[in-house]
Amino acid sequence: MLIATWNVNSVKQRLAHLQKFLTEAKPDVLCLQEIKCVDEAFPRLEVEELGYNVAVHGQKGFNGVAILSRLPLADVTPRLPGDDEDAQSRYLEAVVSIPGGGAVRVASIYLPNGNPIGTEKFSYKLAWMERLERHAAGLLALEEPTVLAGDFNVIPEFRDVSDPESWANDALFQPESRAAWRRILGLGYTDALRACDDRSGLYTFWDYQAGAWQKNKGIRIDHLLLSPQAADRLQGVEIHKRMRALDKPSDHVPVSVALDIPAA
C-alpha cells in the first residue's frame, strides 16, 4: 500500500498537477493539505474519474484538508478534538478499509505555521500540537496501523534545513515546536523517512523567493508518522522532488510511504 501526503497549496490552481501525480505515482491514499476551498468547490468529479473516493474538510480561501483513497473510506472524522471553538480546517481522519479484512487509519494534518513568534499565532500552534499529542496517544491505544500524514510545519533537526541560521527566528524551528514534535514521537510513533534514510539535505519545501529551489535551499516539514503496527510494515519512503520542477508548482512536494499491506 502506498500512502502519500502533499501540501498542494490550492487544489484548484494545481488540479493538473494533482491529476498528474495520481496518474503517475498511483498512491492508494493521498492526504492533501492547504486545499484552500470549501467542500463544495473541491474538484471531486475530476478526482473520482481517476478512481478515488474523496473526503474533504475545507475552508474558504485558507487551510483545508482532504483524503483521497482508491479503497473505501469509513469513520470519516473532521477536526482535531480538544477545542470546540477552533474553526480552522486543519485535521481530517478516516479509516481505509482493506479488501479481505483489516484497515489502516489515516489522518491528513495541516499544523499551524505559528509565525510570528511571540504572538497568539505561536501560542495557537503550540496548543494545537498539545491537542495532537493527546489525540495521537489515544489512537495508539487502538493498536492498529495508523499513519499521521501532513504538513507539520516543524523542522525536526538541523539536518532537515539547508540554512539553519536563516530559520532561527521562525516558528517552524523554535525549540518549543521541536520539543512538541519529539513528544509525539516519544509516544511510540516512527518518523517514516528517518527510519529509512538518515542523510541530511532531504527536503520537502522550497520557498518561492530568492531562488530557493534552484539553490536547493529547502526544509523538511512534510512528514508521515507511523504507529508501531504500521512501522512494522514499512518498506520505503520517497520524496517526489520532481513535482517542484513543474510550471507554477506548489512550494511543497509529495512524500509517500510504502507499507507491506495488500491494497487489492
Catalytic site positions:
110, 151, 252
Q: Is 191 annotated as a binding residue?
A: no
Q: Is 63 annotated as a binding residue?
A: no
Q: Is 7 annotated as a binding residue?
A: yes
Cβ contact 227:3 at 8 Å = no
Q: In the chain, which residue ranges form alpha helices assigned H by DSSP?
A: 15-25, 44-48, 120-140, 175-186, 192-196, 228-231
Q: What are phi and psi of 33, to 5 degrees?
A: -130, 160
Beta strands in the chain (DSSP E): 2-7, 29-33, 53-57, 65-69, 73-78, 91-97, 103-110, 146-151, 190-191, 205-206, 218-219, 222-226, 234-239, 255-259
Q: Is 169 annotated as a binding residue?
A: no
Q: Is 40 annotated as a binding residue?
A: no
Alpha-carbon gap, residue 49 to 41, rounded angstroms: 16
Q: Is 17 annotated as a binding residue?
A: no
The annotated binding site for Mg(2+) is made up of 7, 34, 151, 153, 251-252
